[in-house]
């Protein structure tokens, strides 16, 4: 199975951040043993701030009371990068893949590849975006529209990207996004001024992602992938 170049696409609906993180760790172990193929998990999260390995406490601008009032949970996680926000209206993708089998290096092949895929997807949605050689992520001018933070363990990836479709951008005021001062954040809805069809956005992202990294794609479910039922119960809400 490990030599199969296809991608299994799994739509999780809305999931708690901790649940999705636990699920990734289980799938990474299965992928390391070639018990599953390469995967792309798609989800949305409730309001969450996540702090990567380079994050520091001073990049959190809201105190505990404000976070609680606004329904934000904080997680210190094992991905690279700094602090970011996840929440409703944001399409989050977690690729679980073996970059060694796909002959990808970490920076130019994988991380920049995700950026290229998201730029292609955004173009399909009517948004012109670009890479920034100084910073990871996808940008529209000086504003970030997609954040990227990954972990690679024994050549298998986890964590991934967060694309702002139509989130409440005010939540980014609670952090210094990605630890970068002096730059803003934006969304597809803010740029276009109209609502974006979620199914269309998801399909653009999946097509661009698979187009960038190669292989076929097939829709699948956790039940088919996992050897035993998970305690996690994803919401049935589709994205």
97 included as an active-site residue: no
Neighbours of 68 (CB within 10 A): 11
- 134-144 per-position pLDDT tens digit: 999 999 999 99
Residue 205: pLDDT band with limits 50, 70, 90: very high
Would you call 213 helix, strand, or coil by DSSP?
helix
CB-count exposure of residue 229 (10 Å: 0-12, 13-18, 19+): exposed
How far is the C-alpha of 6 from the C-alpha of 213, rounded, in Å? 10
φ/ψ of residue 141, rounded to 5: 65, -125
CATH number at 87 reads 3.30.930.10
- 55-88 per-position pLDDT tens digit: 899 999 999 999 999 999 999 999 999 999 999 9
pLDDT reported for residue 234: 45
Residue 231 lies in a domain: no
Residue 200 lies in a domain: yes
How far is the C-alpha of 123 from the C-alpha of 130, rounded, in Å? 10
Residue 203 lies in a domain: yes
pLDDT of 25 above 60: yes
Residue 3: pLDDT band with limits 50, 70, 90: low
Q: Are strands 135-140 and 130-132 parallel, antiparallel or unpaired?
A: antiparallel
Average pLDDT, the chain: 92
Please name which of 47, 27, 25 lies closest in space to residue 37, comparing C-alpha atoms.
27
pLDDT reported for residue 228: 63
Q: Please, what's the b/e burial string for 142-174 (b: 16 or more CB within 10 A of its CB; e: otherwise)?
A: ebbbbbbbbbbeeebbbbbbbbbbbbebebbeb
pLDDT reported for residue 239: 33
- The number of folded domains in the chain is 1
Residue 182 lies in a domain: yes
| Cβ–Cβ under 8 Å, residues 48 and 85 | yes
Residue 2: pLDDT band with limits 50, 70, 90: very low
Residue 155 lies in a domain: yes
Q: What is the domain range of residue 116?
A: 7-225
Higher pLDDT, 204 or 225: 204
HSE-up of 106 (CA within 13 Å, CB side)? 13
- 145-198 per-position pLDDT tens digit: 999 999 999 999 999 999 999 999 999 999 999 888 889 999 999 999 999 999
How far is the C-alpha of 27 from the C-alpha of 43, rounded, in Å? 15
Residue 233 lies in a domain: no
How far is the C-alpha of 133 from the C-alpha of 112, rounded, in Å? 10
pLDDT of 115 above 50: yes
Residue 239 lies in a domain: no
pLDDT of 236 above 80: no
């Amino acid at each position: 199975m490990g030599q199969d170049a296809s991608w299994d696409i799994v739509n999780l609906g809305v999931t708690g951040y901790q649940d999705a993180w636990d699920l990734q760790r289980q799938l990474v172990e299965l992928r390391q043993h070639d018990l599953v193929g390469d995967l792309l998990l798609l989800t949305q999260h409730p309001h969450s701030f996540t702090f990567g390995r380079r994050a520091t406490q001073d990049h959190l601008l809201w105190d505990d009371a404000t976070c609680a009032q606004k329904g934000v949970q904080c997680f210190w996680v094992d991905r690279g990068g700094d602090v970011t926000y996840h929440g409703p209206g944001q399409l989050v993708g977690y690729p679980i893949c073996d970059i060694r089998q796909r002959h990808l290096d970490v920076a130019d092949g994988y991380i920049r590849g995700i950026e290229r895929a998201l730029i292609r997807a955004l173009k399909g949605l009517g948004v012109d975006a670009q890479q920034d050689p100084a910073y990871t992520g996808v940008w529209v001018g000086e504003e970030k529209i997609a954040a990227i933070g990954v972990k690679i363990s024994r050549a298998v990836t986890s964590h991934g990207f967060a694309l702002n479709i139509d989130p409440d951008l005010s939540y980014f005021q609670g952090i210094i996004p990605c630890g970068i001062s002096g730059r803003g954040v934006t969304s597809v809805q803010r740029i276009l001024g109209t609502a974006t069809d979620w199914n269309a956005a998801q399909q653009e992202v999946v097509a661009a992602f698979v187009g960038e990294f190669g292989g076929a794609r097939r829709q699948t479910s956790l039940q088919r992938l996992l050897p035993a039922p998970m305690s996690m119960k994803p919401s049935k809400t589709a994205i």
